[in-house]
Each structure stands twice: as C-alpha cells, then as structure tokens.
Amino acid sequence: MPPFRSLLRFIRATPLPNTGSVARDLLASERTFLSWARTGLGFIALGVALEKVEALAALSPTLLHLQDSRTKLAAGVLVGAGSLCVGHGTLRYFSTLELVKQGKFRPNTGGVTLMAITCIGIAIAGSILVIENEADKAREKAKEEGTQVKI
C-alpha cells in the first residue's frame, strides 16, 4: 500500500482557503479542462474513424474512392490535433490553478487562437480532400466513357 499512498499524495492537491470565488473559479477551470479533453478526444476519434473507413475502402474499392496517402495524412492530422488539445487543456488547467492560488488570472488567448487555426485548417483540408475526390471520380468516369473532363 505505501506506493499507492505516495502516488495519492502526488495527485492530491493541498486544500485552499475558499475566500472570494476560489472554489467557483477552480470548478470553472475543471469544466474548461473537460471541454478541452472532450474536443481533443473528438478529434482523435474522428481520425481513428477516418483510418477505419480507409481500411474499409481498401477492401471494397467500388464502395469508396479514397486514396491511401491522403486519408492517412488526414487521420494523422486529426489525431495530432486532438492530442494537442488534450495536452493544452491539461497545461492550461495546472497553470490556472497556480495563478488562482496567487489571486491572478491569465486569459487563454493562445489556446483559443490555436483552436481556431486548427479548426479552420482541418475544415479547409477536408474541403480540398472532398473536391479532389470528386474530381478523381469525374476523371475515372470520363476515362471509362472515353471523353475528356475539364477540371
């Protein structure tokens, strides 16, 4: 049992006096951390699902027209972005805890900017993948019909 108790001491925070809005601020910080974690896990799940769809497409090429390298890259980006979200949320939570102990607060402008850029980048990359996929389908159809397609 001694190793478990030492681990528990490492994890357990020292009690803080609940003056002013300390408890409310820390509980809000925990909810914010959970939001970052949910967002990150959502990105990770989407990346894993995309990888599974790509594997399904490999089994049945007529079912989906996905190209191996692009979907692997997209899945990797989503998993990476999700991991960054979880990491940022964790760092943000602990830095906010220390600042609240000092009676200070730092707005999360960096995290919000990073999340906005990430989401916009994923949306643009996803749009490009969809457009390229449709163009590939049109080229294949034209090749089968013996005509040319201008794209």
Return the domain boundaries, the chain. Answer: 23-143
Closest by Cα among 56, 44, 51, 52 to 70: 51
What confidence score (pLDDT) does residue 39 get?
94
Share of the chain above pLDDT 70, in %: 79
Q: Is the model more confident about 31 or about 132? A: 31
Closest by Cα among 47, 52, 96 to 76: 47
pLDDT of 132 above 70: yes
Contacts of residue 82, defined as CB under 8 A and 6 or more positions apart, other chains included, come to: 39, 40, 41, 42, 43, 44, 45, 46, 47
Q: How many CB atoms lie within 10 A of CB 103?
A: 9
Q: For residue range 50-104, what is the model confidence (pLDDT) as tens digits?
A: 888 877 666 665 555 555 677 788 889 899 999 999 999 999 999 999 998 888 8
pLDDT of 40 above 80: yes
